[in-house]
Amino acid sequence: MIKTTKISTPLGEMIAGATEEGICLLEFSDDKIVTDEMAELKELLGAEIKEGRRRHLRHLKKQLKEYFAGKRKVFELPLVTPGTDFQKAVWNELLKIPYGDTVSYHQQAEAINKPGAVRAVGSANGSNRIAIIIPCHRVIGADGKLVGYGGGLERKQWLLDHERKFSGKPVDISLF
């Protein structure tokens, strides 16, 4: 069973989902693909989806609140990320990008030893169902510009500025 709940954030309402094992979903409620992602999770995990409570969701809410207050830079949550081996490699690499930093899609492809797979890396990032926690917002274009974020480029810019503000790194960039 996947239990879901809504979480209010400074960037709008998000929908979170968790199994007994961990967090499997965190997306902005207004993202058009959230319904598709929930259906995909239902199929991949062979589980029903129902609004409810889970300890993982309680921990997620607490850690997101700390993150948005600038007090948390690393999330400590078990994650459930069904996908292909390639997708999992891409998502695991996202988890290695330090708070307040960015990398390009090309750098991410090189980091997983697939330098020619830049577009596939972008596609895998787009398939990430756990926004913010698996920080695909930290990946930018090779030219330093913002590209591709399911929650919208304004949210991506906000998240990057927020992290730079609390990391002590310069915030003076506008990436789009």
**Alpha carbon distance 108, 114 (integer Å):** 9
**Alpha carbon distance 166, 159 (integer Å):** 11
| Catalytic residue chosen out of the listed positions 38, 117, 136, 146 | 136
Is 24 designated active site?
Answer: no
H or E element that contains 103: strand 103-104
H or E element that contains 101: none
First to last CA, the chain: 40
DSSP state of 137: G
Q: Which residues contact 26 (CB under 8 A, 6 or more apart)?
A: 7, 14, 15, 16, 17, 60, 129, 130, 131, 132, 133
H or E element that contains 12: strand 12-18
Which residues are known catalytic residues?
136
